[in-house]
Amino acid sequence: MVGLNGHELINKPNKPNKLNELNKLNKLKYVMTNGDKKILVVGGAGYIGAHMVRQLVNARCDVVILDNLSTGSRKLVHGGEFVQGSLGDSNLLDRVFGAHPFDAVMHFAAFSQVGESMNQPLKYYRNNLAETVALLDAMVRHDVKRFIFSSTAAVYGEPVEIPITELHPCAPTNPYGATKLAVEHMLADCDAAYGLKYTALRYFNAAGADESGEIGELHDPETHLIPIVLKAATGQIDHIQVFGTDYPTTDGTCIRDYVHVNDLAQAHLLALDALLGGGESAVYNLGSSNGYSVKEVIGKAEVVTGKKIAVVEAQRRPGDPAILIASSEKIKRELGWTPAYENLEKIIRTAWNWHLKQILNVQHRTLNSLCSAIL
């Protein structure tokens, strides 16, 4: 189907866990009342954005996805109206905002590789900061007053205390974290000047995939630990490198806090619900509040996959803290966020299901190509 200005309407059936979805939706007071809410999701073809779109569609929201596909994939978009384009295109933004009376905007359109941000800082300031300025400018022009921002734990920099709360000093050590923090400052100024209310959600380590296996993590290149470990389990790579085994932790490897991507999306829904109900601007951490070492992640992956994963030990990477664990008590207390995937093995199992489906899809395409060649 085709929507406004020839943009494609995608109506693929979702297959959620019905009980889990019902429990999540029951917490929403405003998202599902007084008609379908119209939400713009920028970066909605990316890993986290695509899971957000899926949950918004399940909540009967009217969703428009704007993505330039520089890092996203069309095959991750399930539902809504898709518009391909850049946040830096003010004419496009005016057409989109002019055609849709949005109740809120959700932002997932940032570049997010820490190492790349060190080597190409201007790429990050242009995309993450300048293009967000253009988006907020359009929101002000079209009187859209609610904004949900995908921020990051990288705004904190080196931790001075564990677990990390929202009151922890913000001192980012790389341009990626600096651009995210700059947007948070800009949002606070927009609230003061224009009454634009926002929620900034500071993620720790997003992981896992939707239980349907239809959407999941799809990065090129892949830099996240769990999908790299699973690629080693499938034989797509020979081994995984462990950077540093001499940290002051129980097994010498870094400890991180992993949160399931659907739990992240659920937190966004709760934040949206709060803003729709007249809530004030806020900042929240999103993590599981549990820490797992690199070796523990590998061990859990071996249990889930039934495969032995080859490990090569390497030197520490500069700037890698020994331990990063979030305190998510604030969002649990204020918005009632309850993660459904607090068990790491369960998180990895959803990611493994996604990886296996991708391999089967490749095999099916190869077989179909061979059959077509023979015929």
Give burial (CB, 10 Å; 0-12/13-18/19+) of 167: exposed
Helix (H, G, I), strand (E, B) or coil at 160: coil
Rounded distance, CA 105 to CA 149, Å? 9
Residue whose structure tokens are 């799809």: 218
- For residue 163, say if its preceding peptide bond is cis, omega within 30 degrees of 0: yes
Nearest Cα to Cα of residue 276 among 24, 26, 32: 32
Q: Is 125 a catalytic residue?
A: no
Q: Which residues contact 10 (CB under 8 A, 6 or more apart)?
A: 77, 78, 79, 80, 81, 82
- How many CA within 13 A on the CB side of residue 233? 25
- Long-range contacts from 247-251, C-beta under 8 angstroms, 24+ separation: 247/316, 247/322, 248/322, 249/293, 249/322, 249/323, 250/293, 251/293, 251/295, 251/296
Catalytic residue among 47, 124, 176, 284: 176
Q: What is the DSSP letter of 271?
A: H
What residues contact residue 185 under an 8 Å CB cut-off, 6+ apart? Answer: none
Q: How many CA atoms lie within 13 A of 363 on its CB side?
A: 6
Residue type, 102: F
SS3 per residue for 69-116: CCCCCHHHCCCCEEEECCCCCHHHHHHHHHHCCCCEEEECCCCCCHHH
Q: Which residues form the catalytic set? A: 176
